[in-house]
Structure 1
Amino acid sequence: MSDAYDKNLAWHFMRIKKEDRQKRRGHNSFVLWFTGLSGSGKSTLASCVEEKLFSMGIATYVLDGDNVRLGLNKDLGFSQQDRTENIRRIGEVSKLFIDAGIVTLTAFISPYKSDRQLVRSLLEEGEFIEIYTKCSIEACEKRDPKGFYKLARQGKISDFTGISSPYQPPRQPEITIDTELQSADEGADDIIQYLIKHEYLTR
């Protein structure tokens, strides 16, 4: 985009506000940001949480790492720069979903603390709930549902998180689910209880 266009852009405020949409839906909107190594159970846990929320009448949507890379972010690779752009775009999409009054669940490795902090900074206080799907690299490799760890060990995949690219675990996530010790259903129940306790599911 040229500088001439860029300098003349302005956010267009709509008559219907986020608070109006939340009131209509009967609950707050926020993002549940699942982060963890490949194979740690992010997508499985996010799907389980969504199912429980949906059954409670909560408006939800899951943004899954693979699904987004097959569409919106299919032009991005896995270099650090592309990973950062991947997360930045998801942060902006999540912000729009929150404005629409929808509880958004995102399942992305999101390996860098700075990227996750950037997304948190895009949102209002309390709208970013970081969920660390804790799982050792050994357990993730044993699961290896897509065969990526094996390929990474063979040098056939570069920039693979946990092998040839770093993962920076959250220091103080709102929620930690140890997927080596808890089933997806148990972890989802813990997350639902957190949301109930902190009054996220009411308006």
Structure 2
Amino acid sequence: MKPASVGSDLQTSAVTTTYGVLKARDDDTPRDKDVPCQVKRGEGIWIDVLDIDDWLRDPKVVPRLPQDHGTNRLVPFINGNPLQGVYPDKSEYYEYTDPVGLHIGRSFHFILRRTATSKSSWDKLLNRPVFVRPMELSVGFENGERMPTWVVPKTGLDSPFQLILIPTARFLAGVAVIVGSFILFLILASSTDIIRDTTVALRPDGLRPYSLARAQMAF
């Protein structure tokens, strides 16, 4: 097991630990399948965690935990931003074995909703106009304390967690509507009087001249 990057005041310092966030997966991916996770806001995500009870009992962590630090109060951390108010709606236990030994794993399921309290975090995450953005993922509490994580950004499409900022289908549909509307406008502009001046006489070609005022109103 590789060292995890530690959250809270240690941020991404590499330290050896046996607990941490192991992986992320969407609702359709089983736990034993190791593929990058791509999700967008509003979708469900499973976050697989190792030895969370050890983390909650760690003497170095305990002083930083909030008073109510039950696992039902966990929230996702994306790039260090806590999605406040986004709590797990279900969880599952599992066993995980590696060279260190046997670990008690737990999978937490979250719906990546935009709530009134998570709005500021979402604004930070969605402020870059790209289709997909690799990000760090962890879980923790709303006071900022979060678990170490192995889910950190990598180059290319191999990054274990990728947040879809601009859904491709929605983007293409929007472009199609804009292009189609513009083509329709050009057809109507050349074949009707929608942007022509109907208050003046016809030109020698039988058409009325274009009206600058109407053209400006059309846009």
Instruction: Please indicate the TM-score interval, normalised by the length of the shorter structure.
Output: under 0.3
Give the TM-score of the pair, scaled to structure 2: 0.22
Using structure 1 for the length normalisation, give the TM-score.
0.23
Bigger relative CO (Cα 8 Å, ≥ 6 apart)? 1
| Structure of higher CA gyration radius | 2
- The structure where helix makes up a greater share of residues is 1
